[in-house]
Amino acid sequence: MREVRSASFWRAIFAEFLGSLLYVLLGLGASLRWAAGPPGALGAALAFGLAQATLVQALGHVSGGHINPAVTVAFLLAAQLSLPRALGYLLAQLLGALAGAGLLYGVTPAPVRGTLGLSALHPSVGLGQGTAVELVLTMQFVLCVFASYDERRDGRLGSVALAVGFSLTLGHLFGIYYTGAGMNPARCFAPAVITRNFTNHWVYWLGPLLGGALAALLYDFVLAPRPRSLAERLAILKGEPAAEAPREAPPEPLELKTQCL
């Protein structure tokens, strides 16, 4: 409970709420159809990618800039996040996404609202295919997040925020015609609630969560293993402070002796 009582914990929760609100508002807003014809895939992909990069840059030092339940669950499985913090993040992300979608609905003219950026499978894409696409897209994204955030990497090149944003953009460019490129259960949940349309909604939870979990296991146990004991992982999940390694006693000063000739 020490972590929950800290001010930094609640600042991080608020950062996830604010980040999810802005991500959904800006990303879905750029995906609305203001003219005849479908919205441009490139514009929507860039909007989501740039929103993610901007929010990681702005909020990453406060909460880690997850803004995505799939990322939070992945960090929880990799024992890089406590269970209380993960639950707080998930609730904040869902509420923030709902607030962002509701705000977008309120400021958008009725003829333009349409489905409010609701992710939907292409008519020719089956449920299994859609789930597989969401899994792969989210897996590559979460792998990029893990690699970019890894403090063990020496000489990290470039911007972490841009790397994460480009990874999300890439996922949208590939998946937007298949599934609408959800890659984020909160981003898909919010417009489904606002429009009361939950058709095939489970695809946008199962695919991303499995993809994030697979990415966490691959990175933390295969690609870049972390030498942690089970006790250390359980302590992190409980939110307990990490035990400090025993410090070695400083060496005794050497006494320089000279011999007179």
Is 251 domain-assigned? no
Is 71 domain-assigned? yes
Is 250 domain-assigned? no
Which range of residues forms the domain containing residue 82? 7-238
Q: How many domains does the chain have?
A: 1
User: What distance in Å separates the CA atoms of residue 69 and residue 215, rounded to the nearest whole number?
Assistant: 14
pLDDT confidence of residue 183: 96
Is 98 domain-assigned? yes
Q: Which tens digit of pLDDT belongs to each residue from 189-209?
A: 999 999 888 999 999 999 999
Structure token pair of residue 244: 């400090």
User: What distance in Å separates the CA atoms of residue 219 and residue 83, rounded to the nearest whole number?
Assistant: 20
Is 1 domain-assigned? no
The CATH number given to whatever domain includes residue 229 is: 1.20.1080.10
Identify the CA nearest to 92 among candidates 73, 118, 71, 68. 68
Query: Confidence class of residue 107 from pLDDT cuts 50, 70 and 90?
Result: very high
Is 245 domain-assigned? no
Residue of 157 and 72 predicted with greater confidence: 72
The pLDDT of 90-114, averaged and rounded, is 92
Long-range contacts of residues 248-255, Cβ cutoff 8 Å, at least 24 apart: none
Is 256 domain-assigned? no
Long-range contacts of residues 218-223, Cβ cutoff 8 Å, at least 24 apart: 218/139, 218/143, 219/78, 219/143, 219/146, 219/147, 220/77, 220/78, 220/79, 220/80, 220/146
